[in-house]
A and B are shown apart, each in its own frame.
Chain A
Amino acid sequence: MTDMRTAFAETAEDIVANDPLAAVVLADISTAMFEDAMLSFSDRLINVGIRESLMISVGGGLALTGMHPIMHSYAPFLIERAFEQIKLDLGHQDAAAVLVSIGASYDVPEAGRTHHGPGDVALIDTVPGFTVHVPGHASEVPTLLRDAVGRPHSSYIRLSEAINTVRLPVSSRLTVVRRGRGALVVAVGPMLDPVLDATEGMDVTVAYATTVRPFDSAGVRSLAATDTVVVVEPYLAGTSIRPIDEALADRPHRTLGLGVARTEVRRYGTAADHSRLYWLDRAGIRASLDRFLNRFLDRPPAYLESVGG
């Protein structure tokens, strides 16, 4: 099965080959994947070296001349290091570009905190007008990228190593994966697999989101039958609570945002280790859901008691 990064590189190369206004700007990351294209389209496959700020600004300058730039690196270098360039040279200049990251929150745990990007979506959410996509399967990447290139506003596509076994068609709306009478549980991108596992046997509705900005407010309103919504995101916990809260502003409701905690976990190990540490594996999500939905707020949920937690 193709990984998301390869799907991105192949699609981007094809877009550049067919759209004379498309360009890719890199900062040394993933250049090997574009070697052939760099020879064929040297004017539009630009590697600025290890200069992420310049990469974003060059994209902004390209867009101001009518081009359709794609910029790409690890999430913390693409979004956090060059954040003012994103805010001003794309946002404030009204220059549309597509940002595509790899590394996600902890795809390379052995590399440590410097390569972790759990805050990326929350940060991008402060820039007006960005569309944010979090694919859960490599098969979604070509469609998302093709739709994003040439849009009149900017987009952020957050790739990950984690891939769902379930493959769903790309939609900008919530896709219902399982219907129940209880809470609405929204799984974002690669969180669908663990959410489906964790909610096995629970009477809840599970919906899948690939597009989180704009968040599907109408979908939330129609699917939140009990006015109880849980959103499970593969980045900073609670990032999408705000749009969900706004969608339900006219009725009493309860929300829970699961995701990567606001803590500095000085651990290496594997991605599975980190999912466990952040309670984003099957057991952790189940425990959080039990606690929230069954209101076992004054004592540990049943699951934790059974394992002596």
Chain B
Amino acid sequence: MTARGAHEHHEVMELTYHDLPGLMTRMTGDEKHAPSATSTLDVLWVLYDRILHVTPSTVDDPDRDRFLLSKGHGPAAYYAVLAAKGYLPEPWLDDFGGISSRLGYHPDHKLIPGVEISSGSLGHGLPLGVGMVHGLRAQGRTSSRVFVLIGDAELDEGTNHEAIAYAGAIGLANLTAIVVDNQSSSHGWPGGVASRFDVNGWSTSTVDGRDHDQIAEALSRRPADRPHLVVAVVEPKDS
């Protein structure tokens, strides 16, 4: 199966933020969605609605912005946003996780148009994003930005800290990490998530992860000499 061109087979009719819960219900069958599936909803919507320079017709454009969902579990919000924005046909949502479905419990970039990486195992997105920024820079594609969404619990994985230290040390511009913080890390981050990035030379913004204007403003920041972090704080996972 190839993901390429799948968007050509259906009429693109853009939906709004208010359509997302209905789209998610088509996947889960539930009226209420798991926090891990919805903690990312607002950030994802703002990214695709206001920030990312990519459309369903430019998913193969080498100069597109890249969005990497590193925290691949609970992808219903991601799929709902992709469907709302016309990257994938809505009927795909109805067979979430089925044997013939392109939409698994973790996304596979070989199966879904517009998905940049296959994720599921935690701690892979940010290091891959560092490599992507290097690759784009080496090809002179300095207009492209790379955004990587990770969870505050995912930040436990040591590979993130290899990437944070390295990207900060070399001042890797065009890389934006987004940590959706629902305070689900078992041992927490004393001093705050942002302090881990700040000490390594990143610029950081901490915002209300449900406030679209705040999220958009923070994601619009693009320092020329260093990577950027946006911490989107949402309600605690078990609240």
Chain A residues within CB distance 8 Å of chain B? 20-21, 23, 25, 43-44, 46, 48-49, 51, 53-54, 57-67, 69, 84-85, 88-89, 92-94
The residue in A43, A59, A62, A84 that gathers the most chain B C-beta atoms within 10 A of its C-beta is: A62
Q: Which of B165-199 contact A (CB under 8 A)?
A: 165-166, 169
A109 to B162, CA, bound (A): 29
Q: Which residue of A lies closest to B128 (CB)?
A: A61
Q: Find out whether the CB atom of B109 lies under 8 angstroms from the CB atom of A53.
A: no
A60 to B125, CA, bound (A): 10
Q: Find out whether the CB atom of B121 lies under 8 angstroms from the CB atom of A58.
A: no
Q: Find out whether the CB atom of A43 lies under 8 angstroms from the CB atom of B163.
A: no
| Interface 1/0 per residue, B108-121 and A, CB below 8 Å | 01100000111001
CB proximity of B126 to chain A, nearest CB, Å: 8
Q: Which 3 residue pairs of A and B lie closest in terms of their CB atoms, listed nearest first?
A: A61-B131, A65-B135, A57-B127
CB proximity of B39 to chain A, nearest CB, Å: 23
Q: Which of B102-152 contact A (CB under 8 A)?
A: 109-110, 116-118, 121, 124, 127-139, 141
The interface residues of chain B lying within 8 Å CB-to-CB of A21 are 138-139
Q: Find out whether the CB atom of A65 lies under 8 angstroms from the CB atom of B118.
A: no
A84 to B124, CA, bound (A): 9
Q: Which of B70-118 contact A (CB under 8 A)?
A: 109-110, 116-118
The interface residues of chain B lying within 8 Å CB-to-CB of A59 are 131
Interface: B236 (CB within 8 A): no
Q: Find out whether the CB atom of B138 lies under 8 angstroms from the CB atom of A67.
A: yes
A67 to B139, CA, bound (A): 9
CB proximity of A298 to chain B, nearest CB, Å: 50
Q: Find out whether the CB atom of B162 lies under 8 angstroms from the CB atom of A64.
A: no
A162 to B149, CA, bound (A): 46
Q: Find out whether the CB atom of A53 lies under 8 angstroms from the CB atom of B159.
A: yes
Interface: B29 (CB within 8 A): no
A282 to B94, CA, bound (A): 65
> Which secondary structure dominates where chain B touches chain A?
helix
Chain B residues within CB distance 8 Å of chain A? 62, 109-110, 116-118, 121, 124, 127-139, 141, 158-159, 162-163, 165-166, 169
The interface residues of chain B lying within 8 Å CB-to-CB of A66 are 62, 135, 139
Q: Find out whether the CB atom of A64 lies under 8 angstroms from the CB atom of B127.
A: no
Q: Find out whether the CB atom of B162 lies under 8 angstroms from the CB atom of A54.
A: yes
Q: Find out whether the CB atom of A88 lies under 8 angstroms from the CB atom of B124.
A: yes
The residue in B127, B136, B137, B158 that gathers the most chain A C-beta atoms within 10 A of its C-beta is: B127
The interface residues of chain A lying within 8 Å CB-to-CB of B116 are 64
The interface residues of chain B lying within 8 Å CB-to-CB of A20 are 138-139
CB proximity of A55 to chain B, nearest CB, Å: 9
Q: Find out whether the CB atom of B139 lies under 8 angstroms from the CB atom of A93.
A: no
The interface residues of chain A lying within 8 Å CB-to-CB of B130 are 54, 57-58, 61
The interface residues of chain A lying within 8 Å CB-to-CB of B134 are 23, 43, 46, 58, 61-62
A98 to B109, CA, bound (A): 22
A49 to B127, CA, bound (A): 13
Partner of A64, one of B117, B158, B165: B117
Q: 28 A-B pairs, CB-CB below 8 angstroms? A: A20-B139, A21-B138, A49-B169, A51-B162, A53-B127, A53-B158, A53-B159, A57-B128, A57-B131, A60-B131, A61-B130, A61-B131, A61-B134, A62-B132, A63-B131, A63-B135, A64-B131, A64-B132, A65-B141, A66-B135, A67-B138, A69-B131, A88-B124, A89-B124, A89-B128, A92-B118, A93-B109, A93-B117
CB proximity of B3 to chain A, nearest CB, Å: 11
The interface residues of chain A lying within 8 Å CB-to-CB of B139 are 20-21, 65-67
A285 to B216, CA, bound (A): 68
The interface residues of chain B lying within 8 Å CB-to-CB of A51 are 162, 165-166
The interface residues of chain B lying within 8 Å CB-to-CB of A25 are 131
CB proximity of A82 to chain B, nearest CB, Å: 9
CB proximity of A38 to chain B, nearest CB, Å: 13
Q: Find out whether the CB atom of B138 lies under 8 angstroms from the CB atom of A43.
A: yes
A192 to B109, CA, bound (A): 43
Partner of A54, one of B62, B109, B127, B133: B127
